[in-house]
Structure 1
Amino acid sequence: MRRIYVVMIVLFGILVLTGCSMIQSEEEAIQHAGEAAEKQFHADDAAEANQELDILSMYVPAGLEVDKEEASNIILKDGSQTYIVFYNELEGPKSKLSYKAAAAKEDEALLLETFEDKDKFGYIRIMPADEEDKYELQLGVGGVKITTYTPKSSMEDDAEAMMKMSRSIAFENRESASE
C-alpha cells in the first residue's frame, strides 16, 4: 500500500514539474513574439490576399472577421479580441513614419525591434497594458500598422498573424512619399 502512495506522489510531482515548465515567462513570450514577427517579415512570399475590401485587398487569417471599414482603418474581430489595421496609402513599404510614432514611447516598451530589407521596413512593439496579463502588440510594415491587446499565451501567434496581414497590404508597387 505504501508503494502505491509513493508512486502516486512521484507521478504527481512529475505532472506538476511538467506543467510548470510549459508555462512561458513574460520574457520568453516577448522574445518568441519578436522572433515570429521577424520570421514572417523575412519570409520569401507575403501571404496571398483572401479578403477584398472597398479600398484594398488583404490577407485575413481564419477566425478573424472584418467588423468595420473606414477611411485609413479596418477593424477586425476574433470573438472579443479586436485588431485595428491602420494604413496610409501615401506611405510606401520602406516608410518609417509609424515606427517613429511607436518609438516615441520606447522607454515604456517591453520590446521595440525593427526589421529591414531592400524592399521594406517593419517593426514590432510590445507594451504593458492596463489589463492583467494583457499586452499591447503593434506591428507594422511601411505605411501599415496593426494593433491589438493580447494575453501572453497568444502573443507569439498574434505577432505572426499580424505580420502576415501587414505584409499582405504593404504598398509594394508604390514609391514611398516619405522613407
Structure 2
Amino acid sequence: MKKFSLLILLLALSAVLAACNTTIEEQRDKTLEEVEAVFNADPERANEEGQDLEFHIPYFSEVAEEADHNIVIEKSNETYVLFHHLNEEAGQDAIYTMTEASSEEWLVNETFEANDQFGYVLLRQIDEEEYELVTGVNHVKVTTVTDLQNIADNAEWMMETARSAQWK
C-alpha cells in the first residue's frame, strides 16, 4: 500500500511540474497577445514622476535610481531600465530602430502602430536561461533580463509603463 501511495504522489508531483513548464513558443505567443492588448488600450494613470516624464509602474516596484535619459526600476529582485529620449526630428521609431539594429538574433521583433503611436516588443536569448526583453512606445523603452517563465508577465507591465509615459 505504501508503494501505491508513493506512486500516486510521484505522478501528482510530475503532473504539477509539467504544468509549470513553459516553452519559448508559448511565452512568445502570450507576450505578443498581451503587449498588443496593452498598446491598444488606454494608458495607465501615472503614479511616478521623473525629471522629464511621468509614468506608471506596478505596485511593489520602486524607482531605484535616475540619471539623464535612464530610470532604474526594481521589482521583485529584478532590475529594469526605462530609457527615454525625446527627439521629435528623429521620428517615433528612432529608439526602436537603434535597439533592433543592435542584434540580428531577435526571437521576437514585432511593431504596432495606432493613433499616432509606435510600439514594439523585442526578445532575444542571452544564454541558456536568460532573455533580454525590450518594450517601447515612441521615445520610451523599458529593458530587462529575465527568465523564460516571466517573459510574458514582465512584457505586459513593461508595455504598460512605456505606454503610460507622458513628457512634462
TM-score over 0.5 (shorter chain): yes
Who is 2:51 aligned against? 54
Who is 2:164 aligned against? 168
Relative distance call for 1:54 and 1:14 in structure 2 (3 A) is same
Who is 1:35 aligned against? 33
Scaled by the length of structure 1, the TM-score of the pair is: 0.82
| Residue deviations 1:82-121 (CA, integer Å, cap 9, x gap) | 11111112349x7111121132146300111111113201
Structure 2 runs not aligned, ≥5 long: none
* Structure 1 residue identity aligned to 2:162: S
* Structure 1 residue identity aligned to 2:105: E
Scaled by the length of structure 2, the TM-score of the pair is: 0.87
Pairwise CA RMSD of aligned residues?
A: 2.2
User: Given the alignment, which residue of 117, 125, 136 partners 2:122?
Assistant: 125
| Residue deviations 1:142-178 (CA, integer Å, cap 9, x gap) | 000111011111111110110000011155x9xxxxx
Counterparts of 1:109 and 1:32, CA distance in 2: 16
Relative distance call for 1:129 and 1:90 in structure 2 (3 A) is same
Single out whichever of 66-75 and 12-21 deviates more from structure 2.
12-21
Structure 1 runs not aligned, ≥5 long: 174-179
Relative distance call for 1:117 and 1:13 in structure 2 (3 A) is same
Single out whichever of 157-166 and 30-39 deviates more from structure 2.
30-39
* Structure 1 residue identity aligned to 2:142: I
**Which entry has the higher C-alpha Rg, 1 or 2?**
1
Relative distance call for 1:158 and 1:141 in structure 2 (3 A) is same
* Structure 2 residue identity aligned to 1:32: K
Who is 1:12 aligned against? 10
User: Given the alignment, which residue of 60, 63, 68 partners 2:60?
Assistant: 63
Counterparts of 2:62 and 2:15, CA distance in 1: 39
User: Given the alignment, which residue of 20, 33, 51 partners 1:22?
Assistant: 20
Residue 15 of structure 1 deviates from its aligned partner by: 3.5
Identity %: 33
The alignment partner of 1:108 has SS state of: coil
Single out whichever of 151-160 and 98-107 deviates more from structure 2.
98-107
Counterparts of 1:47 and 1:134, CA distance in 2: 28
**Does the Cα contact within 8 Å between 1:59 and 1:164 map onto a contact in 2?**
yes
Count residues with an aligned counterpart: 167
Structure number having the greater strand percentage: 2
Residue 8 of structure 1 deviates from its aligned partner by: 4.6
